[in-house]
């Protein structure tokens, strides 16, 4: 390790020590049904959000926590798996997991690794370096992550605890916790999707953008990519760079979307207070933003456009698809297209039944459809399926009292978007969103223990001074 990086790590420890007030311990672990101390918070997902949540909690002296992730160490999140862009799309000066601690920013790490001149010359952050930074972030803060550990099921347990059944080390184990945070990214409350006309086709011919794809095997083939967001372009570029004979990108819109609404909303007022708006305004904003979808930067388009065998088809949603010989025939409003392989870059869909860990309460998770009915000209059935969250990011009940324990399950992922804006899925919102989530978690933990705190106060007898009765004239 370089002397500059060692010095930075020392600076991190010094900064955190100087800003640790109040540092008093205030939680007592509950005992689980197994006779062992239960966690205060179990965080599911060890990517950038899970790490930042753990950091925020530790700053509030909530240290009896554990992060679990089904991936091996270093492959948490999308960065080294299905993320296929060269760089992050966010500007390099956007801060995130550091939670406004200067020595923990990506910039500080990059300058320590490569020098200040390299930072000045950098345009956008390479995704592999972002993954390396997150590993350093985890290490320097001493965050506990149990890799290779997959959440299978959540059920209520005694004394207000939750029981998380996990697959770990070849066995099924139970972790007890007072709170569970689902920080599982894009697919937290659903899954990556394939458009309905393609769902009957075999997986050997159709893949989702999140799937492992052998792009080398596509050399010399005709590839169709469904969707026109940044992820779709990334996959089209991968196929082109791997030697595909032709790549056709099918955009359902008559004109491709190039505006990036997340750039507009990146200001403190929106990021911090969007969730304080009433349902009418929250729905109006997020419906407009999510229907507009996310634009892509110039470099993403140029990566494809430099190939003469790249073809962009606007106004071309897939109407029908059928196997013809060894290939696939796609019918669009603008004609028929034949492909050897199809990649769906259509994003994710909210579908609680896709998540096995939700099976015990899937029917009682309140959605926006349960809580708000927009005017006819603002209705959107797809967005109405999003979960309707409480002000601490917790799930709410469709039928009150049927599953009250789900109020201790907090969602910090893409599916939080309708309730909180782009808070659980975007780097640009983390410095506002993580403190809000941590505040909600600590508020719940404090309120649940209020009797114990009252008893502690009543028993408090630590004197701050010694009074001499003689000198006082008595």
Q: What's the pLDDT tens digit per position in 347-404?
A: 899 999 999 999 999 999 999 999 999 999 999 999 999 999 999 999 999 999 999 9
Sheet with 327-332, side-by-side order of all strands = 320-324, 327-332, 335-339
Rounded to whole angstroms, how far apart are CA atoms 383 and 451? Answer: 41
Domain boundary among 303, 327, 346: 346
Answer whether residue 474 shows pLDDT above 70: no
Residues 150 and 178 in one domain: yes
105 neighbors 13 (Cβ within 8 angstroms) = no
| Pick from 58, 59, 81, 84: nearest CA to 70 | 81
Give the pLDDT confidence score for residue 33 in this predicted structure.
96
The set of residues, in sequence order, having a beta carbon less than 8 Å from that of 312 and lying 6+ positions away, is 228, 249, 251, 256, 304
Which helix or strand (DSSP H or E) is residue 174 part of? strand 171-182
Q: Is residue 326 part of a domain?
A: yes
CB 147 within 8 A of CB 135: no
Handedness of CA 343, 349, 351, 352 (dihedral sign): positive
Task: Give the pLDDT confidence score for residue 297 in this predicted structure.
Answer: 84
Under 8 Å between Cβ of 87 and 93: no
In a domain? residue 30: yes
Instruction: Return the pLDDT at 339.
Output: 97
Q: What is the pLDDT of residue 205?
A: 95
Give 209's contacts (C-beta < 8 A, 6+ positions apart): 82, 84, 192, 227, 231, 232, 234, 235, 343, 344, 345
Task: Take residue 321 and report the two structure tokens written for it.
Answer: 């698809």
Q: 244 and 137 in one domain?
A: no
Same domain for 71 and 100, yes or no, is yes
Phi, psi (5° rounding) for residue 290?
-75, -30
Taking the C-alpha atoms of residue 55 and residue 402, their distance in angstroms, rounded to an integer, is 33
Q: Does some domain include residue 227? A: yes
14 shares a domain with 151 = yes
83-108 residue pLDDT tens: 999 999 999 999 999 999 999 999 99
- Residue 441 burial (10 A CB sphere; 0-12, 13-18, 19+): buried
Residue 261 has phi, psi (to 5 degrees) of -65, -25
Residue 467 lies in a domain: no
| 201 shares a domain with 167 | no
Domain coverage including residue 248: 194-258+295-346
The model's pTM is 0.95
- Inter-helix orientation angle 3-18/127-141, to 10°: 50
Alpha-carbon distance of 368 to 187, in angstroms, equals 18
The reply to whether 88 and 219 lie within a common domain is no
Q: For residue 258, what pLDDT is reported?
A: 84
Say if residue 251 is in the same domain as residue 360.
no
Considering just the CA atoms, what is the radius of gyration of the chain in Å? 25
**Within a domain: residue 471?**
no
Cα 258 to Cα 227, 263, 305, 466: the distances in Å are: 13, 12, 15, 71
Under 8 Å between Cβ of 403 and 71: no
Note the maximum CA span of the chain. 107
Whole-number percent of the chain with pLDDT over 90: 90
- Give the per-residue pLDDT at 472: 56
Q: Is residue 466 part of a domain?
A: no
74 and 178 co-located in one domain: yes
Q: Say yes or no: 52 and 175 in one domain.
A: yes
Q: Which residues contact 118 (CB under 8 A, 6 or more apart)?
A: 110, 111
Indicate whether 473 pLDDT > 70: no
* DSSP per-residue codes, 26-59: ---PPBPTTSSBPEEEEEE--SHHHHHHHHHHHH
Q: Side-chain half-sphere of 47: how many Cα atoms within 13 Å?
A: 25
Question: What separation in angstroms does the CA of 394 have from each of 387, 406, 413, 438, 468?
Answer: 10, 7, 12, 12, 54
Question: Residue 468: inside a domain, yes or no?
Answer: no
Average confidence (pLDDT) over 255-279: 91
pLDDT at 257 over 90: no
Residues 30 and 32: their CA atoms lie apart, in Å, by 6
Domain end, chosen from 283, 313, 346, is at 346
The residue among 110, 104, 66 whose CA lies nearest residue 88 is: 110
Query: Per-residue pLDDT tens for 196-237?
Result: 999 999 999 999 999 999 999 999 999 999 999 999 999 999
Domain count, the chain: 2
Which of residues 474 and 281 earns the better pLDDT score?
281
Averaged pLDDT score across all residues of the chain: 95
131 shares a domain with 62: yes
Tell me what percent of the residues of the chain surpass a pLDDT of 70: 99
* Distance from C-alpha of 220 to C-alpha of 242, rounded to nearest angstrom: 9
Please say if the pLDDT value at position 410 is more than 70: yes
Please indicate, yes or no, whether residues 143 and 245 belong to a single structural domain of this protein. no
Residue 103 falls within a domain, yes or no?
A: yes
pLDDT on residue 471: 62
CATH number at residue 320: 3.50.50.60
Neighbouring-strand partners of residue 150 = 167
**Among candidate residues 321, 346, 371, the one where a domain is terminated:** 346
Residue 355 and residue 338 in one domain: no
Chain position carrying tokens 């969707």: 227
């Amino acid at each position: 390790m370089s002397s500059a990086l060692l010095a930075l790590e020392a600076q991190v420890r010094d900064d955190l020590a100087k800003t640790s007030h109040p540092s008093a311990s205030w939680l007592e672990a509950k005992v689980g049904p197994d006779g062992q101390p239960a966690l205060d918070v179990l965080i599911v997902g060890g990517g950038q959000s899970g790490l930042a949540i753990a950091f925020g909690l530790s700053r509030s002296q909530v240290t009896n926590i554990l992060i679990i992730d089904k991936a091996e160490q270093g492959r948490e999140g999308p960065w080294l798996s299905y993320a296929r862009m060269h760089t992050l799309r966010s500007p390099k000066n956007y801060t995130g997991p550091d939670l406004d601690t200067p020595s923990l920013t990506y910039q500080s790490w990059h300058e320590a690794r490569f020098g200040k001149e390299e930072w000045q010359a950098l345009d956008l952050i390479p995704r592999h370096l972002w993954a390396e930074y997150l590993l350093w972030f985890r290490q320097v803060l001493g965050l506990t992550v149990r890799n290779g550990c997959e959440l299978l099921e959540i059920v209520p347990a005694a004394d207000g605890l939750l029981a998380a059944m996990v697959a770990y080390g070849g066995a099924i184990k139970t972790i007890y916790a007072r709170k569970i945070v689902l920080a599982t990214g894009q697919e937290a409350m659903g899954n990556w999707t394939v458009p309905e006309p393609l769902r009957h086709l075999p997986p050997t011919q159709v893949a989702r953008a999140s799937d492992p794809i052998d792009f080398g095997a596509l050399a010399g083939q005709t590839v169709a990519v469904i969707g026109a967001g940044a992820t779709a372009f990334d996959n089209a570029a991968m196929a082109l760079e791997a030697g595909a004979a032709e790549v056709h990108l099918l955009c359902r819109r008559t004109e491709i979307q190039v505006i990036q609404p997340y750039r507009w909303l990146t200001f403190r007022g929106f990021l911090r207070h969007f969730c304080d708006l009433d349902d009418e305004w929250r729905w109006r904003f997020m419906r407009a933003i999510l229907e507009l979808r996310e634009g892509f930067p110039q470099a993403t388009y140029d990566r494809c456009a430099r190939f003469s065998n790249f073809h962009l088809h606007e106004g071309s949603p897939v109407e029908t698809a059928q196997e013809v010989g060894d290939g696939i025939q796609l019918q669009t409003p603008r004609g028929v297209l034949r492909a050897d392989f199809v990649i769906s870059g259509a994003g994710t869909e909210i579908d609680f039944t896709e998540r096995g860990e939700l099976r015990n309460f899937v029917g009682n998770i309140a959605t926006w459809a349960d809580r708000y009915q927009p005017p006819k000209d603002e209705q959107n059935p797809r967005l109405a399926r999003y979960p309707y969250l409480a002000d601490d990011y917790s799930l709410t009940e469709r039928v009150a009292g049927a599953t009250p324990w789900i109020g201790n399950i907090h969602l910090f992922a893409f599916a939080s978007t309708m309730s909180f804006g782009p808070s659980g899925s975007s780097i640009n919102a983390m410095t506002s969103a993580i403190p809000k989530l941590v505040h909600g978690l600590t508020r719940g933990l404090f309120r649940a223990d209020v009797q114990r705190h009252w008893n502690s106060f009543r028993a408090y007898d630590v004197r701050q001074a010694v009074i001499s009765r003689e000198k006082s004239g008595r």
